[in-house]
């Protein structure tokens, strides 16, 4: 059976990093992960980082996995985001083959029992081969975390992350006002 089609997830590419090589590589085990993993790409675009995104399966394309991980650093990639479901060995095996930081996204896929299988496959890495694991289907946070790593050496991305934090604060304060207006007692604000 072919995996879920990509048509809903047309990338809205941004400008900035197109001229240079991608700083963030997003890989996923299957096209069926794209609905979730697109969230990482979308977040990165908010910070004007245009990631590359492709499919690499630890089990179906082991040679491709090795080549992708081993070449990523020399290609200029700084952070790899890897997402997979079920027996999710992709992030760990990418991490085994590169010194780049790897952010793992457990995906609740069709072959997953309840999400814990992918969660634990990515989370419980042995000593020496870390994978920074985000929440189940937490690809958006993976995108933010990748931007935060890049921001250590990029003041423009750092500025956008600061603005994003302020925006989140504004959104919550808007809700605080809404709830107060409903008539609930609030003597804090």
DSSP H helical ranges for 47-125: 62-72, 90-96, 116-123
Say if residues 21 and 124 touch (Cβ distance below 8 Å).
no
Q: Which of 22, 25, 39, 85 binds ligand AIR (CB under 6 A)?
A: 85
- Does position 92 bind ligand AIR by CB under 6 A? no
> Which CB atom, from 45 or from 89, has the smaller least distance to ligand AIR?
89
- x-or-dash string of contact with ligand AIR, 127-156, rule CB under 6 A: ------------------------------
- Does position 54 bind ligand AIR by CB under 6 A? no
Q: Which of 81, 107, 136, 145 binds ligand AIR (CB under 6 A)?
A: 107
> Which CB atom, from 142 or from 150, has the smaller least distance to ligand AIR?
142
The pair of three-digit structure tokens given for residue 60, joined into one six-digit string: 């179906």
- Does position 117 bind ligand AIR by CB under 6 A? no
- Does position 86 bind ligand AIR by CB under 6 A? yes
Distance from C-alpha of 83 to C-alpha of 36, rounded to nearest angstrom: 9
Distance from C-alpha of 50 to C-alpha of 116, rounded to nearest angstrom: 31
- Does position 84 bind ligand AIR by CB under 6 A? yes
Distance from C-alpha of 24 to C-alpha of 41, rounded to nearest angstrom: 9
Taking Cα atoms as reference points, which of 23, 45, 43 lies closest to residue 105?
43
């Amino acid at each position: 059976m072919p995996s879920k089609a990509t048509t809903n997830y047309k990338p809205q590419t941004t400008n900035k990093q197109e001229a240079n090589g991608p700083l963030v590589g997003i890989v996923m085990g299957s096209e069926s992960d794209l609905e979730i993993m697109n969230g990482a790409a979308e977040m990165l675009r908010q910070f004007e980082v245009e990631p590359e995104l492709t499919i690499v399966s630890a089990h179906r394309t082991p040679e491709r996995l090795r080549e992708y991980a081993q070449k990523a650093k020399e290609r200029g990639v700084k952070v790899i985001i890897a997402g997979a479901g079920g027996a999710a060995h992709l992030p760990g095996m990418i991490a085994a083959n590169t010194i780049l930081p790897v952010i793992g996204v457990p995906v609740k896929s069709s072959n997953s029992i309840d999400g814990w299988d992918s969660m634990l496959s990515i989370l419980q890495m042995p000593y020496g081969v870390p994978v920074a694991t985000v929440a189940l289907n937490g690809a958006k946070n993976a995108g933010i975390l990748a931007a935060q790593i890049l921001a250590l050496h990029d003041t423009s991305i750092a500025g956008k992350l600061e603005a994003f934090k302020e925006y989140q604060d504004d959104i919550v304060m808007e809700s605080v006002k809404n709830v107060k207006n409903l008539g609930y007692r609030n003597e804090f604000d």
